[in-house]
Amino acid sequence: MAVDTSIIGKSTGAYKVRVERGPVSFFAAAVQDDNPIYRDPAAAKAAGFDAIPAPPTFTFAMQHMGRWDEDQPADPTGGENPMHAVMGQLFGSGALILHGEQEFNYHRPIEVGDVLEGEGKVVDLYEKETDAAVMTFIVIETTWRDEGSKEPVVTEKFNLIGRTRKG
Neighbours of 113 (CB within 10 A): 12
Q: How many separate domains does the chain show? A: 1
The whole-angstrom separation of Cα 125 and Cα 163 is 14
Assign residue 78 the CATH number of its domain: 3.10.129.10
Phi, psi of 114 (to 5 degrees): -65, 145
Residue 1: the pLDDT is 54
Question: What range does the domain containing 147 cover?
Answer: 5-18+68-165
Is residue 108 one of the residues assigned to a domain? Answer: yes
**Torsion 76-82-85-87 (CA) sign:** negative
- The one-character DSSP state at 4 is -
The parts of the chain modelled with pLDDT lower than 70 are: 1
Is residue 27 one of the residues assigned to a domain? Answer: no
Residue 167: the pLDDT is 76
11-18, strands of its sheet edge to edge: 11-18, 115-129, 133-146, 152-165, 96-106
26: left (phi over 0), alpha (psi -120 to 50) or beta: alpha
Question: pTM score > 0.75 for this model?
Answer: yes
Is residue 89 one of the residues assigned to a domain? Answer: yes
Is residue 147 one of the residues assigned to a domain? Answer: yes
Is residue 140 one of the residues assigned to a domain? Answer: yes
Is residue 52 one of the residues assigned to a domain? Answer: no
Residue 100: the pLDDT is 92
Is residue 36 one of the residues assigned to a domain? Answer: no
Is residue 116 one of the residues assigned to a domain? Answer: yes
- The one-character DSSP state at 50 is S
